[in-house]
Amino acid sequence: MYLNENSILRSITVDNFRRAIPMWFRSQKRKFLKAPMWTNYDLTYKCNLRCEHCYFHKAVEEKRIQGKPLNDLTNAQWIKIFKYHRSIGIHSATFTGGEPTLRMNLLFEAKKIFDNIQIITNGLIKIPEFPGKQPVIWTSLDGGSETHNAIRRAEIFDRVIENVQDDKRIYLICTVSSSNYDEIGEVAKIAHDANTGGLFYNFYTGYPKDPLLLKGKSLQKTIKELTKAMADYGDYILLSKKMIETYIKKSHVKDCFFKNGEVQSFFPNGRRKFCVMGNTPALCANCGCVVPIVAHCLKKFDPETIEKFKKIPF
């Protein structure tokens, strides 16, 4: 049988089966214990930036009651939660914020508890080597120097590039919005020259009238430029044709991991939130979140998505 680039049979390999079998057994254990597949923790309300498109601060302000201060859990409180989640079968955790590297000691403690951790960071603080298996680090890069600094509202571009240079643990992530959609190719070149593990393009998530959302001609140009970047840089770009199609059609929303509880997200005070992007399903209509998009494509056994992401040591 002829296997074209979109054939599901291309994903049926010995290597993929070896990876899938232990994942299947863990999934059965989680179902029995009614535990999520993995967890996402916003470690702190604090951040060293105030970015234009920050979903976290918007969600926090929506949650704030009468201007009362919001306090982070202590290290001991977080570690207790980590150990409980690990005891019910959770092997992987993602750390966001705020800025999670402001609690670096807690990240090192989490790595002792979970088999795999991911850190989502703005790149201002260089992440040191961890004992044993290294975390997967996602670092933001939103454009060339001028655009990145404008979106991040600080002169930080050079510092970020210095911190990520030649670090294969790091996968750069560009959130595409109306502010930077015309710099997709420039971001790809900058990222590739920095010699990191790869580059992923995220789509901005917002409420219906948000001016940062991609619509009409800006969305059309975005798709064209993403397709070109994929052609120019190959597997370095962690994006597939199926993922772009999924974003446009929003077919990932129905089976979203956050909505069905397979992934759970928590505020810095330990309280559960709706999803990593915010605390309301009103964001679903314009969701561009990497988690449900990739998950949807993997569930459909899209061979290009499988090949793109299997090299990442989740």
Residue 24 located in a structural domain: no
Residue 289 lies in a domain: yes
Structural domains counted in the chain: 1
CA atoms within 13 A on the CB side of 288: 25
Residue 160 · residue 142 · CB < 8 Å: no
> Tens digit of pLDDT per residue, the chain (314 long)?
333 455 545 555 656 545 545 554 555 555 555 678 899 999 999 999 999 999 898 888 877 755 667 899 999 999 999 999 999 989 999 999 999 999 999 999 999 999 999 999 999 999 999 999 999 999 999 999 999 999 999 999 999 999 999 999 999 999 999 999 999 999 999 999 999 999 999 999 999 999 999 999 999 999 999 999 999 999 999 999 999 999 999 999 999 989 888 999 999 999 999 999 988 899 999 999 988 999 999 999 999 999 999 888 87
Q: Per the domain annotation, does 19 fall within a domain?
A: no
CATH of residue 284: 3.20.20.70
**Rounded Cα gap, residues 36 and 44, in angstroms:** 22
260 residue type, one letter: N
Tell me whether residue 123 is in a domain.
yes
314 in any annotated domain: no
Strand 272-273, strand 116-121: pairing: unpaired
Specify if 56 maps to a domain. Answer: yes
β-pairing, 263-266 vs 272-273, is: antiparallel
> DSSP secondary-structure letter at 133?
S
Q: How far apart are the first and last CA of the chain?
A: 32
Under DSSP, the state recorded for 46 is -
Say what the pLDDT of residue 61 is.
Answer: 80
Domain that holds residue 264: 33-309
Q: Is residue 21 part of a domain?
A: no
Cα–Cα distance for residue pair 90/80, rounded to 1 Å: 14
Predicted pLDDT at 2 = 34
pTM recorded for the entire structure? 0.88
40 part of a folded domain: yes
